[in-house]
Structure 1
Amino acid sequence: MQKFSVIFLLLIFSCSSTSLVENWKNPDIVLFNAQKVLIVGMAKNESARQSFEAQLQKEFTKRNVDAMQSLDVFDVSFTDSRKTEKELDDVEQSLLDKGFDAILFTKITGSENRESFLSAISKLDNYKGRFNDDYLENQDIYYDDNYYDQFNIYHAETTLYCICEGKDRSMIWRGSIDITDPKNIEKAVDDYIKLIVLSMEEQDLIFRKEE
Structure 2
Amino acid sequence: MRQLLKIAGLFLVTSILCSCASVSLVDTWRNPGVRPARLQKVLVVSITKNDSNRRVYEDMLASQLSRQGVEAVAGYTLIPAGERASWSVLEKAMKQAAAQAVLTVQTIKVEQQTTVHPGYVDPYPGYWYPSAYPTWDLPSYYRSMAHYGPGYISTYDIATMQVNLFDASSGKLIWAATVESTEPEKVTTVGQELARIVVRSLAKDGLI
What TM-score, normalized by structure 1, do the two folds share?
0.60
Work out which of the residue numbers 50, 53, 70 in structure 2 matches 1:48: 53
- Tell me what 1:63 maps to: 68
Q: Percent identity?
A: 24
Partners of 2:194 and 2:90 lie apart in 1 by 27
- Tell me what 1:91 maps to: 90
8 A contact 1:105–1:159 mirrored in 2: yes
8 A contact 2:56–2:187 mirrored in 1: no
Cα 1:190–1:175 change in 2 (3 A) is same
Letter in structure 1 aligned against 2:177: G
Q: More strand by proportion, 1 or 2?
A: 2
Aligned residues: 146
Partners of 2:110 and 2:80 lie apart in 1 by 31
Work out which of the residue numbers 33, 38, 46 in structure 2 matches 1:28: 33
Work out which of the residue numbers 74, 80, 95 in structure 1 matches 2:79: 74
Q: CA deviation at 1:152?
A: 2.0
Q: Pairwise mapping of residues 31-180 of structure 1 onto structure 2 (< 5 A)?
A: 32-79=37-84, 82-83=85-86, 88-89=87-88, 91-92=90-91, 95-96=94-95, 98-112=97-111, 152-164=157-169, 168-180=170-182
Q: After superposition, give the CA deviation of every residue in 1:80-114 in whole Å (9 maximum; x if it has no partner).
A: xx54xxxx15632562365222100000001349x
Q: CA deviation at 1:171?
A: 0.3
8 A contact 2:83–2:89 mirrored in 1: no
Greater Cα offset, 182-191 or 44-53: 182-191
Which protein shows a greater Rg?
Answer: 2
Q: CA deviation at 1:64?
A: 2.1
Q: Which runs of 5+ in 2 are unaligned?
A: 1-19, 113-155
Q: CA deviation at 1:68?
A: 0.8
8 A contact 2:79–2:89 mirrored in 1: no
Letter in structure 1 aligned against 2:68: R
Partners of 1:182 and 1:98 lie apart in 2 by 30
- Tell me what 1:196 maps to: 198
**SS of alignment partner, residue 72 of structure 2:** strand
Letter in structure 2 aligned against 1:191: E
Partners of 2:186 and 2:94 lie apart in 1 by 34
Cα 1:185–1:71 change in 2 (3 A) is closer
Moved over 4 A (4+): none
**SS of alignment partner, residue 22 of structure 1:** strand
8 A contact 1:157–1:176 mirrored in 2: yes
CA RMSD of aligned residues (A): 2.6
Cα 1:179–1:94 change in 2 (3 A) is closer
Work out which of the residue numbers 8, 20, 24 in structure 2 matches 1:19: 24
8 A contact 1:96–1:163 mirrored in 2: no
Q: CA deviation at 1:183?
A: 6.2
**SS of alignment partner, residue 207 of structure 2:** coil
Partners of 2:36 and 2:203 lie apart in 1 by 10
Partners of 1:94 and 1:71 lie apart in 2 by 10
What TM-score, normalized by structure 2, do the two folds share?
0.61
